[in-house]
Amino acid sequence: MRWWRRRWVWWTAGIVLALVVLLLWPTTAVAIYYTASNARSARQTAEAALRPVDHNEAVQRRTHELTEQGQVTDRFTAAVARLGETSPAVRLGGVHALAGIADDAPAMRQTCINVLCAYLRLPYTPDPGSLDNDQQTAMTTEEREAHERRRAEFRGRCEVRYTIIRLIGNHLRLPVGDPRSWQGHDFDFTGVIFDGGDLHGACFTAGTISFARATFTDGFDFRSASFLWWPGRLRRRDVLRRPG
């Protein structure tokens, strides 16, 4: 009878367990359902809360980019306006401002280079020279003063032009990997008179380079300048033969 009693105990326990499961199952199922539903609602709420944040961040980034672009445009406009001033000091400020923009904003670099090269291509009045005693005696005071003004204007133009050439040379001597290097860009020196400044060691890579009808004086420093599309080191007479 012991085995029967033991079997009866197991049956009783099984029946009790089944009754407990039947009684508790609806409550458990409801709890599981509401737990999953709450978790889903919480996730949806969090996602909905993050969407405006992401949108706001995107708007802020775009606003910041537009602000920076506007600032660069304003700087560029002001720098170009300075190049048209009569004062050499103001024009020099415009030249350095354009070089600074080219360094800070690579997207504007070629445009700044184009403006600087265009300034070099402007008509260039030769040096009126100094007056000897006979010439000074033959001139009136007004004529002598006008002559001195022309000489001062010429020296001012020279200083601006030589500064542009030096800045171009400085940036072309920087290696390609340097973020401020101007290698690989276009340079149009058509008809430019190179009577001062410094392009020694400048390296022209890729881009379109034109020295058509350019004039070089004996004092111009073009030592060791090179073009990667030209075999070997470039000599000055090779530059002068470079097709436009």
Mean pLDDT of the 106-114 span: 95
Write out pLDDT tens, residues 204-231.
Answer: 887 888 888 898 887 788 888 888 755 4
> Tell me, what's the pLDDT at 183?
93
Percentage of the chain lying above the pLDDT 90 cut? 34
> Tell me, what's the pLDDT at 108?
94
Write out pLDDT tens, residues 174-187.
Answer: 998 899 999 989 99
Domain boundaries, the chain: 82-240
Mean pLDDT of the 99-121 span: 95
Checking if the pLDDT of 199 tops 50, the result is yes
Write out pLDDT tens, residues 1-18.
Answer: 444 455 555 556 556 555
pLDDT level of residue 238 (50, 70, 90 thresholds): very low
Mean pLDDT of the 178-207 span: 90
- Cα–Cα distances (Å) from 105 to 44, 45, 117, 137, 240, in that order, read 42, 42, 18, 55, 32
> Tell me, what's the pLDDT at 62?
52
Nearest to 116 by CA among 188, 175, 205: 188
CA atoms of 163 and 98, how far apart (whole Å): 12
Mean pLDDT of the 129-148 span: 73
Tokens of 131: 């007056």
**Mode of pairing for the β-strands spanning 203-204 and 193-194:** unpaired
Percentage of the chain lying above the pLDDT 70 cut? 64
Least confident of 63-67, 99-103, 191-195: 63-67
> Tell me, what's the pLDDT at 33?
53
Checking if the pLDDT of 29 tops 80, the result is no
Find out whether 79 and 102 touch, Cβ atoms under 8 Å: no
Mean pLDDT in the chain?
76
Mean pLDDT of the 22-46 span: 60
Write out pLDDT tens, residues 14-24.
Answer: 565 555 445 55
Taking the complete model, does pTM exceed 0.75, yes or no? no
Kindly state the greatest CA–CA separation across the chain: 153
